[in-house]
A and B are shown apart, each in its own frame.
Chain A
Amino acid sequence: MKILVCAKQVPEVTNVQVDPETGTLNRDGVASILNPFCEYAMDLALELKEAEPDGEVEIVVLSMGPPQARAALLRCLEMGGDSAILVTDRKFAGADTWATALTICKIIEKLDGVDLILVGKHAIDGDTAQTGPMLAELLNIPQITYGVGLELDERKKRVRVRRENEGGFERVQMRMPGLVSVSKGAASRRVCSFESILDARAKDISVMTADDLGLDEAELGLQGSLTQVVKVFPPISKEAGRIVNGTDAIAAAHEVVGILKEKHFV
């Protein structure tokens, strides 16, 4: 069985700051990391692999991005992926979710026998959650979004996914091949051993470019995108509120309940 995990390299957004004057992102000193949700997708893939001790499950990791995105792939290989494909070309720059999904679709069509595609539910930089479902549609395969756990049926033809939704969870079954977008389940981020970090350096990372796709240049990158960003700006920040010293809890509570009364919450 072959599992393809799509991974994206993203800036560590917790450290991103916006220049209040220019409205641009200040990426100084911001590290590039593997998108956490892609990491959870890897985690579910590895759980399946570990559940099949006879070595039947092969995990291939794919990332579209600049050459530096190799680091994100390396991280996936350190976690236990078997091989990786880096899809990189300057012609891909500026791709929106449509152009990205189309590019990745063309690559996957060239791979043999992918049974299951796992993607993160969204990337923490774009926050769109669109590329996965668009990719599934272009590949014409079913999807289950917001998965937090998965298992194969006895015949390994179907996958059963525990899916988060607004009211709780659903258990959804899907014929393979299919795509699952992965949310954060209960587990914390997987930690690698020193041995697996060293082993990953010997694994294969192949590179594919625009020439390998068979697509017209007009379908790639910014040119092939259907949406355009016209402006970026920092969110409007609120004026600071009133601060109450809570050292004396009773006095503080009295003051706050006074405010609650004014606003008719009590």
Chain B
Amino acid sequence: MLLIDTNTCSGCRLCEKNCPFAAMLIVDEIAVVQDNCTLCGACANVCGEHSITIERAAATPEELAKFKGIFIWAECGESADGESLVPKKVTLELLAEARRLAEKTGEEIRVLVLSDERPVNTDDLFAHGADGVIRFVNKLLWPYSTDAYTTVISAMVAAKKPSIFLLGATPDGRDLGPRVAARLKLGLTADCTQLEINDEGQLIQTRPAFGGNIMASIVTPFSRPQMATVRPNVFAVSENPEIDRKGDIEDFDVALQRGVVRTKILEVEKVGETGGGIENAEVIVAGGQGLNSPDDLDMLRELADELGGTLAGSRPLVEAGWIPHTLQVGQSGITVSPKLYIAVGISGAVQHVVGMNGSGSIIAINNDPEAPIFKVADVGIVGDAAEVIPALIKEIREAKKAA
């Protein structure tokens, strides 16, 4: 229920302007809520007098059952030419997983696409399993801002009442998810790596905690939608997209005012070594504390080049300034799942391992036979990287020549 404190309301019309659904009117200099209010919280968010409060009473099972459908936020990046926007890979991963869940619940999957006026490739979304797309275009939606996205997404979710809402656990996904959850008073589970539907139709959200030392399964019994951010590079993108599959695109028009956005990006500094970024690399050669000097990275780069891969590293190298944080694999860095991961001089602390143990094949090179990295490696070489890596490079070149 939405409550307005008529003693403090100044009639400033901020809520009227900012209500996505035109459900707030100022009558005789006092805000009055209309019947089409969805309780999305945008008005309370902008009210300078704190005159608007929303009481969200616990829902009954019958009320919860009315929520239907799986929503996915399509986080977008710019295309190479900057002319269009492209949903990030994690969106396709979420679609594949949502498809599997939808088989059980029989629900439809809708993807929320927020963008400026540039075109967004939605064909891939349908091909990978979306039944529909809900779109909102506004120039305030590029680049990403916490405030604009929270307002629009909360409005969409409040109006459409899905039963499950998934976001990628990317930096922006983890920035946005908790804001929306807090605005709508929804339970939220962070950084999930497994999702299941139990016999009662609840979403079982499983995630690592304690730096990857333990897994916890979590349910959201009292609120809908059940919200979760999902770790990128854990679920596989469908290998057989249905190219001809189509779905409906619904334009969702809400009011979005510039004043909502309270942050401003002044500058962007790209530091990635390669264009692609390690999260999408098929082969990664990663270095760790066992390397002797920054010069050792040259041989790792050379090995990566021979295998068509990318250089990465563990946290100590980032902290020593040898590599930028965009190349850091692990719990506090990026989770990767390349087809081949070569760990050089990385001891294999659990915080690193959780960021790479989804890799297809893992080769570890370390001079300490007790290093925990050997527990996750498919092939472990106990030896001095300074000798083994050049030998590997030479051997690979010879093998290529022979072929």
Determine whether the beta carbon of B171 is less than 8 Å from that of A256.
Answer: no
Which A residues are CB-close (under 8 A) to B400? 266
Q: Which residues of the other chain, B, contact A225 by a CB distance below 8 angstroms? A: 187
Does B119 touch A at the CB level, under 8 Å?
no
Q: Is B178 an interface residue (CB 8 A)?
A: yes
Once the chains are docked, how many angstroms separate the CA of A145 from the CA of B269? 16
Q: Which of A209-241 contact B (CB under 8 A)?
A: 225-235, 237-238, 240-241
CB distance from B102 to the nearest CB of A (A): 22
Whether a CB of chain B sits under 8 angstroms from the CB of A98 is: yes
Q: Is A51 an interface residue (CB 8 A)?
A: no
B339 touches A265 (CB 8 A): yes
Q: Is the CB of A127 within 8 A of B272?
A: no
Q: Interface size (B, Cβ < 8 Å)?
A: 99
B185 near A98: Cβ-Cβ < 8 Å: yes
Q: Does B33 touch A at the CB level, under 8 Å? A: no
Among A42-50, A63-71, A76-84, A242-250, the stretch in contact with B: A242-250
User: Taking chain A's interface residues, is the majority helix, strand, or loop, or is none over half, making it mixed?
Assistant: mixed
A228 touching B219, Cβ below 8 Å? yes
B187 & A13 in contact (Cβ 8 Å cutoff): no
Contact with A along B327-362 (1 / 0, CB 8 A): 000011010000110000000011100000100011
In the docked arrangement, what's the CA distance between A200 and B385, Å?
Answer: 47
Closest CB-CB distance, B202 to chain A, in whole Å?
Answer: 9
User: Which of A54-62, A86-94, A110-118, A170-178 lies at the interface?
Assistant: A170-178
Do A230 and B171 touch across chains, with their CB atoms under 8 A apart? no
- The reply to whether A137 and B150 contact each other, CB–CB distance below 8 Å, is yes
Interface residues on chain A, number (Cβ under 8 Å)? 85
Picked from A170, A178, A184, the residue with its CB within 8 Å of the CB of B269 is A170
Q: Least Cβ distance of B289 to chain A in Å?
A: 14
Q: Which residue of B lies closest to A235 (CB)?
A: B215
Q: Are B324 and A250 in contact (CB under 8 A)?
A: no
The interface residues of chain B lying within 8 Å CB-to-CB of A129 are 174, 178, 190-191
Given contacts A98-B188, A228-B219, A260-B396, contact A138 B271 (CB under 8 A): no
Q: How far is the CA of A230 from the CA of B194 in the complex (A)?
A: 14
A7 at the interface (CB under 8 A from B): no
Q: Does A190 contact B (CB under 8 A)?
A: no
- A140 and B215 contact, CB distance less than 8 A: no
* Residue B238, interface by CB 8 Å: no
A16 to B326, CA, bound (A): 28
Per the bound structure, the CA–CA distance linking A257 and B214 in Å amounts to 35
Q: Report Cα–Cα, A33/B184, bound state, in Å.
A: 33
Q: Give Cα A201 to B145, complex, Å.
A: 42
Asked if B172 lies at the interface with its beta carbon under 8 angstroms from chain A, I say yes
Q: A208 contacts the other chain (Cβ, under 8 Å)?
A: no
Q: Does any Cβ of B come within 8 Å of A39's Cβ? A: no
Binds A, one of B64-72, B79-87, B128-136, B259-267: B259-267
Which residues from chain B contact A131 at a C-beta distance below 8 Å?
Answer: 178
Contact present for B392 and A257 (CB under 8 Å):
yes
Closest to B191 in A: A127
Cβ contacts under 8 Å, A246 to chain B: 365, 367, 381-384, 387-388
User: Is B110 interfacial (CB-CB < 8 Å)?
Assistant: no
Query: Min CB distance, B167 to chain A, in Å?
Result: 12
The 9 closest A-B pairs by CB, nearest first: A246-B383, A226-B187, A253-B391, A142-B262, A137-B182, A249-B387, A133-B178, A168-B271, A128-B190
Known: A227-B189, A260-B396. 20 other contacts (CB 8 A): A18-B214, A23-B214, A124-B210, A127-B191, A129-B190, A133-B174, A133-B178, A145-B146, A166-B277, A169-B269, A172-B264, A225-B187, A228-B219, A230-B204, A230-B218, A232-B217, A241-B378, A249-B384, A252-B383, A263-B361
